[in-house]
Amino acid sequence: MIATIEVILFVYLAGCVLYNLLLSIAGRLSRKKKISYEETTAFAKIAILIPAYKEDSIILSTVNSYNRLRYPLTRFEVVVIADSLQPRTLEELAATGANVIAVKFDKSTKAKSLNVAFEKLGDDYDMALICDADNMLEEDFLLKINHAYQQGYHAIQGQRVAKNLDTPFAILDAANEIIANHLYRKGANALGLSSSVIGSGMAFHYPLIKQILGEIQATGGFDKVLQLLVIEKGHSIHYLEDAYVFDEKITHAAVFENQRKRWMSSQLVYLRTYWRAGWKALFRGNINYFNLAVCQNALLPRMLLLAALTFITALCFLLQSFMVIPAYVWAGLFIANMMSLLLPIPGKFFRKYLVTAMIALPRAIGIMILLLFRLKGADKTFIHTTHTQTGINNPLLDAARK
């Protein structure tokens, strides 16, 4: 019985490691392409949609930052979906020239806010760019996604990079984002697969996303449903590595716990929800759908995977005579996993910040292990993350652009 459990555990963990390693190597071998977006003469009309739930401390600076975007002023509009913002904040937002749509729900979700915006805006747009209230965009972001749109891409995910690196948890979160971008977006595209989306910094053909959002009622993890509906409708998601959206990284353990609880819960919920549909799609030849519905939802989160392999490998060396699989095989799996995590990290980040990130790693892993026993009902609860960073404080922006 114990031997059977060991073999099943090895097969599952090996599958997770090999999946990540394949994407990591593919992303490393894929080179960033120079985009001649400056030569584009056609400009799509873009609605920048910003759902803002109780984000009074951050939303004004975010909206003001969009005044620096290099794009024809008549061809984009900033739309703030103001959920439970203070009256003074609404007045200040109106003074910026943004289109402010005030909403209030018994149970707030990003999907509900976006659907109200689509109802009120009409159809006079070519693209919709969905951002979080803390997101800031590089000056040429709209020019770059417009170029991709003009090339025929109707679903585009920009590269989200750290807005701040001011605490060990923020640095760890930034490293996690770098790895995820490399694996599930750049690596996936390099293998001919659809990129996954992140929930912000993502742009779509306006009629497409309006239709898709009308079909979503999710509380948490709405981006997981969104990307599957994009695939269902015959589109692939293009990862635009050269388009940067700056995102606030978590600064302390409590925020990390709330965020990961939401993510882990939604992953389990959507694995159950789309398990059969994912396998049916595979048998019909739709690998993209299977990859996003089954493979990525079935993956053990990377921190838990690292913890599991570290513990089991050490245990095998101590109790080798009782184990079916040799300790050196587990050690090889551990090394392969480390390769998948280290290949995506830029050298400058690795040299300057790795030690600081490692300081937060044991506590972060401990939190995630405890969360495994606290996930019940998290997918039905809106867990809000408070943001406070009004500027960009990232000394390694050049590293993010490599």
Structure tokens at 352: 């300057």
So what's the pLDDT on residue 387?
65
Note whether 374 and 276 are same-domain residues.
Answer: yes
Note whether 95 and 181 are same-domain residues.
Answer: yes
Quote the percentage of the chain above a pLDDT of 70: 93
Q: What are phi and psi of 48, to 5 degrees?
A: -90, 110
Could you tell me the residue range of the domain that residue 266 belongs to?
2-29+261-381+394-400
Q: Is residue 17 within 8 Å of 340, Cβ to Cβ? A: yes
CB-CB neighbours of 151 under 10 Å = 12
So what's the pLDDT on residue 276?
97
- Answer yes or no: is 304 within a domain: yes
Mean of the pLDDT values across residues 282-303? 96
DSSP-H helix ranges across 85-127: 87-95, 110-121
CATH of residue 62: 3.90.550.10
Note whether 202 and 309 are same-domain residues.
Answer: no
- Answer yes or no: is 270 within a domain: yes
Note whether 10 and 65 are same-domain residues.
Answer: no
Note whether 199 and 280 are same-domain residues.
Answer: no
Q: How confident is the model at residue 357 (pLDDT cuts 50, 70, 90)?
A: confident
Note whether 89 and 230 are same-domain residues.
Answer: yes
Given 250, 278, 310, the domain boundary residue is 250
- Answer yes or no: is 352 within a domain: yes
What is the tens place of the pLDDT at every residue in 77-98? 999 999 999 999 999 999 999 9
Quote the percentage of the chain above a pLDDT of 90: 64
- Answer yes or no: is 255 within a domain: no
Q: Is residue 47 within 8 Å of 203, Cβ to Cβ? A: no
- Answer yes or no: is 289 within a domain: yes
Note whether 218 and 319 are same-domain residues.
Answer: no
- Is 72's pLDDT higher than 80? yes
Instruction: Report the C-alpha dihedral over residues 103, 104, 105, 111, rounded to 10 degrees.
Output: 30
Please tell me the total count of domains within the chain. Answer: 2
Note whether 133 and 276 are same-domain residues.
Answer: no
Note whether 82 and 210 are same-domain residues.
Answer: yes
Q: Is residue 207 within 8 Å of 118, Cβ to Cβ? A: no
Mean of the pLDDT values across residues 357-368? 87
Note whether 185 and 310 are same-domain residues.
Answer: no
Mean pLDDT is lowest, of 34-48, 64-78, 181-195, for 34-48
Note whether 17 and 80 are same-domain residues.
Answer: no
- Answer yes or no: is 389 within a domain: no
Note whether 209 and 340 are same-domain residues.
Answer: no
Instruction: Kindly report each contact of residues 282-286 with a partner whose C-beta sits within 8 Å and lies 24 or more positions away, as own/partner.
Output: 286/231
